[in-house]
Structure 1
Amino acid sequence: MSISVSITAISSFSPLGNNPDTVWENYRNNASFIQLMHFGVKKAFGAPLSNLLQQEVQALRNSASKYQNLDNSVLYALLASRAAIKKAGWKTGDNFGVNIGSSRGATALFEQYHEAFLKTGLTHTQASPSTTLGNIASWIAQDLKTTGPDISHSITCSTALHALLNGVAWLQSGMADKFIVGGSEAPLTPFTIAQMQAMKIYASKEAEYPCLALDLNKKTNTMVLGEGAATACLEIGRKENAIGYIEGIGYATEELKHSVSISANADCLQKSMQMAIGNTPLNEIDAIVLHAPGTVKGDLSEYNAIKSIFGNNLPLLTTNKWKTGHTFGASGLLSLELALLMLEHNTFINVPFIPVQENKKEIKKVLVNAVGFGGNAVSVLVGK
């Protein structure tokens, strides 16, 4: 990119934990955080937050009356954002932009309020403001008392990486010097799970690994939902305290055959990856964190897109959805966190049910992919 952008902090709040040491420790083992859960009268797989993190969410909710009517998606993002700006050395009240998005927004609250409406014909006073998608970024901006712009959006499963693209654009335009970007999702609700099951893409088989993301030999779809948030602090220029640098960004949208389709060779991902890679020699791309949702067609089409670009000289390939489930709008930033941790520790994280890949050279550059309903894709190249 013509103007460098530094990542000076990243923070997550997910089934993996909420601090870098815990998250890395959980990546280093082969355990999945997916479990069989109750959703209304039915059971289905999901990847929930730990009891300890759920207690933190409840403590935040109880800390002030203004938080009582907020959806978990807002509270997850608040906790992740507070931690991120602390790591970056930003102060409450600084002038920085906020772009935190979500694929679904306040799913649990919306279901709760709608159920009450069907029964009574009435709804809660807070039903509208508390289920508005822009609720996440606006609450973060208020909580951190920033004087910069605050933006929310939904670009389905690539939402968090689209937020990063937007932050980069603001920084490179000179309209801002700092931006916090990311995504948050709390989709473990009966109606959301039912929607995924209706599409016949959801995991149903009990196994050590219910979600077989990146297993290209699976015969059935194995997507599972997870919850959480992740945010990153971006600053213009190459900062000494950077934990990584954004070296390329890419995006594309492909023509749909139907509302959730993606082409066999993921044309949108090919274009977004090529744009992000730019003039970087292909042999300098050491690893790719795939979107890989755990569906038969989704995983294979992304792999085909990678092969179309890299041929037989593939980088190391990994994903985290077999551990965390698919966190929808937050997933791209959780993938970015994995990429940054691999760069920091010079260690590749394998997927346990596919052949082991060894990093025989230092990991210096990692490509991160996200793709969502609507045929939209984002790729981000990060380096040391």
Structure 2
Amino acid sequence: MSQSISITALASISPLGISLEESWGNYLRDGHHLVEKKIGDAKSWVAPLSGHAKEEVEKLKASDPKYKSLDNSVLYAMFAARKAMEMAGWKLGDNFGVNVGSSRGATALFEKYHQEFLRSKRTSTLASPTTTLGNISSWIAHDLKTEGPEISHSITCSTALHAVLNGVAWIKSGMAEKFMVGGSEAPLTPFTIAQMKALKIYSKEQSDYPCRALDLEKKTNTMVLGEGASMLCLEKGNKDNALAVIEGIGYATEILQHNISISTEAECFQRSMQMALGSTDPEEVDVIVMHAPGTIKGDLSEKNAISKIFRNKMPLLTTNKWKIGHTFGASGMLSMELAILMLKQQQFIGVPYLDQKSTAKKINKVMVNAVGFGGNAVSILLSR
């Protein structure tokens, strides 16, 4: 990119915890955060927030009477947004933009109000305003009192990385100096999980690692859903307090062969990664944080695409879905968190059930991938 964009803050709430220190500590452990839990009438593998993270969400919910009617997808995003703004040193009322998306939005509230309607043919007054996807960014803008634009969107599993694209575009256009971007998802609900099971991609594993993301030898699909939110603060130029710099962005959409799948060699990923690289030599990329949802075709097609682009020297490959599940619209931003932590700590976090040996003396550049239903891929190239 011709103009540098600095990431001056990063905050999240996820199964890993509520701080970067806590997240990094959990990444250093081989164990995962997936549990078998009864959701509705059936037990399913899920990755819920930790107990103390849920306590923090309840405190936020109780801090304002208006927040009691909000879905967890909004509350998770507000929690992470407050922490990101504090880290960046931004102030309440500052003129910054907000773009936070979600794949599914207010899933729990939507299911609750729909059940209410089926029973009584009536529903609550707040059923409509509290279940719109626009809820997330608008409530963050309200909570942080920003004067800038607020944008919400859903581009399924690449939602959060599309938010990064939007933030970068606004800043590069000169229409904004800084932008908060991210994704939030609270999908651990009966209907949402039933949808994934209907696609026959949900994990039935009873092994030590229920989600076998990036295991290209697996014989069954092993996707597991998780919940959480993650936010970045973007600012124009190279800032002294930058956690990382966005060096390149790429995006692509491919013609669908099937409602949920991408091509065998993930042409959309090939184009998005090539675009993100720009004039950068592929051999300079040290690590790729893959989308790798834990499905047979999804993991393999992305690996095939990487092999096409990085022919001479394969970067180290990793993913976090074996540890925290697939958080849909928030997943790309939680992958960004892993990438930034590896850049900061100068340590590769691999997948424990794979034979991976880190040969990188330094981690200077990390690429992050995400793709959603519809073949809409995004790749972000980060550097120290």
Structures share fold, TM-score greater than 0.5: yes
Structure 1 distance, partners of 2:242, 2:57, is 29
Q: Aligned letter for 1:177?
A: E
Report matched runs for 1:337-356 at 5 Å: 337-356=337-356
Alpha-carbon shift at residue 312 of structure 1 (Å): 5.1
Judge conservation of contact 1:73–1:186 (CA < 8 Å) in 2.
yes
Structure 2 distance, partners of 1:258, 1:340, is 34
Structure 2 counterpart of 1:242: 242
Q: Aligned letter for 1:353?
A: Y
Q: Aligned letter for 1:327?
A: T
Structure 2 counterpart of 1:256: 256
Structure 2 distance, partners of 1:63, 1:48, is 23
Structure 1 distance, partners of 2:100, 2:169, is 15
Q: Deviations over 1:213-260 (max 9, x none)?
A: 000000000000000000000000111110100000000000001211
Judge conservation of contact 2:202–2:223 (CA < 8 Å) in 1.
yes
Structure 2 counterpart of 1:205: 205
Structure 2 counterpart of 1:29: 29
Structure 1 distance, partners of 2:207, 2:122, is 44
Q: Aligned letter for 1:63?
A: S
Structure 2 counterpart of 1:166: 166
Alpha-carbon shift at residue 360 of structure 1 (Å): 2.9
Alpha-carbon shift at residue 64 of structure 1 (Å): 1.8
Structure 2 counterpart of 1:48: 48
RMSD: 0.6
Structure 2 counterpart of 1:107: 107
- Identity in percent: 64
Structure 2 counterpart of 1:57: 57
Report matched runs for 1:70-89 at 5 Å: 70-89=70-89
Q: Aligned letter for 1:192?
A: T
Structure 1 distance, partners of 2:312, 2:249, is 24
TM-score normalised per structure 2 = 0.99
Structure 1 distance, partners of 2:206, 2:88, is 41
Judge conservation of contact 2:205–2:211 (CA < 8 Å) in 1.
no
Structure 2 distance, partners of 1:360, 1:285, is 10
Structure 2 counterpart of 1:268: 268
Q: Aligned letter for 1:337?
A: E
Q: Deviations over 1:72-127 (max 9, x none)?
A: 00000000000001001101110000000000000000000000000000000000
Runs of 4+ in structure 1 off by over 6 angstroms are none
| SS of alignment partner, residue 118 of structure 1 | helix
Point out where structure 2 has 5 or more consecutive residues left out of the alignment: none
Alpha-carbon shift at residue 62 of structure 1 (Å): 1.7
Report matched runs for 1:155-234 at 5 Å: 155-234=155-234
- Of residues 254-263 and 356-365 in structure 1, the stretch that sits farther from structure 2 once superposed is 356-365
Structure 1 distance, partners of 2:318, 2:205, is 22
Structure 1 distance, partners of 2:6, 2:63, is 34
TM-score normalised per structure 1 = 0.99
- Counting matched residue pairs gives 384
Q: Deviations over 1:128-179 (max 9, x none)?
A: 0000000000000000000000000000000000000000000000000000
Structure 2 distance, partners of 1:322, 1:211, is 5
Structure 1 counterpart of 2:20: 20
Structure 2 counterpart of 1:303: 303
| SS of alignment partner, residue 69 of structure 2 | coil
Structure 2 distance, partners of 1:134, 1:360, is 42
